[in-house]
Amino acid sequence: MTATPAEFEARLRQIGAERYHDKHPFHHLLHSGGCTPDQVRAWVINRFYYQASIPMKDAAFMSRVEDPALRRAWRSRIEDHDGTDANEGGIARWLRLADAVGLDRDYVASKRGVLPATRFAVDAYVRFVRDKTLLEAVAASLTELFAPKIHAARIEGLLANYDFADDSSLSYFRNRLNEAPKDVAFGLAWVLDHADTAEKQDAAAAALVFKTDVLWSQLDALHAAYVTPARIPPGAWQPDTHLIAARSRAS
Ligand SMILES: O=C(O)c1cc(C(=O)O)c2c(n1)C(=O)C(=O)c1cc(C(=O)O)[nH]c1-2
């Protein structure tokens, strides 16, 4: 039976309540100050791969949209990450965080040290958005419903616990607090409007579950590789390498 929009929204929110990556032990470690400088760096390196892929995912989405109004509503997502003449953009802000934790930003931007499982998970998200229905693609982006809470917790936790944290290094997250709500309000309304049969609602809910798995898997990989007993896969970043001179190291 087709749920009402309100019932369906509650179903989507319940997926976040049960499966969003704010509950992952790596985030608890990070936000509570329990990460070593190298564990923070590993997170910055791997999460960069997600950041850098998001505008590619959004471009893949837009390439399939025939409705100009939908493309117009979507395109600010690309600008939010890639920047404009007036706005530095999320990718550049993330590299400021890389500087602040003492990493060589060119190394981070090269994506060379990224864990294989991070690549697999993030690439799967880009492919999902390219290949599935538009409804599933928009529904997958709705993890952002739950992101402002984790961004606020991250700003608070990092500021309280790490010397590298300040307004400049954390500007990525502060900006997302302003950017994400407009995206998610649009995406949620679009999904509630278009998921007008039980089958479509099931597909949209499954897309959101898939996306929570994409996020969770990245943290599983990070935890397995860099938290004791660490098991770093061949080719991935090795602690204490690709650092910049002592200006501001993570601590
Ligand atoms: O720090 C986080 O926990 C987090 C999570 C997510 C998310 O839920 O996918 C995004 C972001 N941050 C983020 O900064 C971001 O720009 C973003 C875009 C998207 C998306 O799927 O289009 N998710 C997220």
What percent of the chain is predicted at pLDDT more than 90? 96
- Asked if the model's pLDDT at residue 152 lies above 90, the reply is yes
Question: What is the 202 CA–ligand 1 centroid distance (Å)?
Answer: 22
Distance, in Å, from the CA atom of 105 to the CA atom of 110, rounded to the nearest integer, reads: 8
DSSP helix, strand, coil percent of the chain (3-state; round to 5): 70, 0, 25
Report, as an integer, the average pLDDT of 113-119. 98
Pocket test for ligand 1, best of 50, 91, 136, 211 (most atoms within 8 A of CB): 50
CA angle in degrees (0–180, nearest 5) for 188-191-192? 85
Question: Minimum mean pLDDT among 26-35, 46-55, 76-85, 237-246: which range?
Answer: 237-246
147 CB under 6 A from ligand 1?
A: yes
Residue 176 burial (10 A CB sphere; 0-12, 13-18, 19+): buried
The DSSP code sequence of 139-172 is: HHGGGGGSHHHHHHHHHHHHHHH-TT-STTTTHH
Question: What is the 147 CA–ligand 1 centroid distance (Å)?
Answer: 6
- What's the pLDDT tens digit per position in 39-75? 999 999 999 999 999 999 999 999 999 999 999 999 9
CATH hierarchy code of domain 19-234: 1.20.910.10
212 CB under 6 A from ligand 1?
A: no
Q: What is the pLDDT of residue 249?
A: 47
- What's the pLDDT tens digit per position in 166-211? 999 999 999 999 999 999 999 999 999 999 999 999 999 999 999 9
- Asked if the model's pLDDT at residue 113 lies above 90, the reply is yes
Q: What is the pLDDT of residue 207?
A: 98
Q: What is the pLDDT of residue 246?
A: 57
- Domain spans of the chain? 19-234
Could you tell me the pTM of the whole model? Answer: 0.95
- Asked if the model's pLDDT at residue 220 lies above 80, the reply is yes
Q: What is the pLDDT of residue 219?
A: 98
Which residues lie below 8 Å from residue 214, measured CB to CB, with a gap of 6+? 121, 122, 124, 125
Report, as an integer, the average pLDDT of 127-141. 98
